[in-house]
Amino acid sequence: MESSRGQGGIQQLLAAEQEAQHIVNTARNAKMARLKQAKEEAEKEIAEYRAQVEKEFQRKLAEIFLNSLSDACLIFIKQSSGDSGANVKRLEKETEAKIDHLKNEAARISDDVVQMLLKHVTTVKN
């Protein structure tokens, strides 16, 4: 009887061990599933963050490019306006020459104009 009791106890221990092993395996599988899910979620978040950073990088790169392009245009305009500056100076010289010519002509004929005005002012017509 004792031997069958011992056999029954051994059977209970083996059954308990199998149940414990089953519980451990179930917990291990659940843990692996949670780790896999956490890894997938982390990879998804990383991909979203990477896309966001890449988008911001591209925006800043475009902004820098546009600023550089704008600066290049300003430099070009300033260099081109150097030519315009030469044109402005040429036009100023031509204008001054024309003004001097008109002053000389006015000085040359001013005596004749004064005489003509005096004649018309002092002559009385009936």
pLDDT digits (tens, 9 = 90+) for 17-40: 999 999 999 999 999 999 999 999
pLDDT digits (tens, 9 = 90+) for 36-47: 999 999 999 999
Q: Supply angle C-alpha 91, 94, 96, rounded to 5.
A: 110
CB-based burial label for 16 (10 Å; 0-12, 13-18, 19+):
exposed
pTM of the model: 0.44
Q: What's the CA gap between 30 and 34, in Å, rounded?
A: 6
Q: What's the CA gap between 56 and 53, in Å, rounded?
A: 5
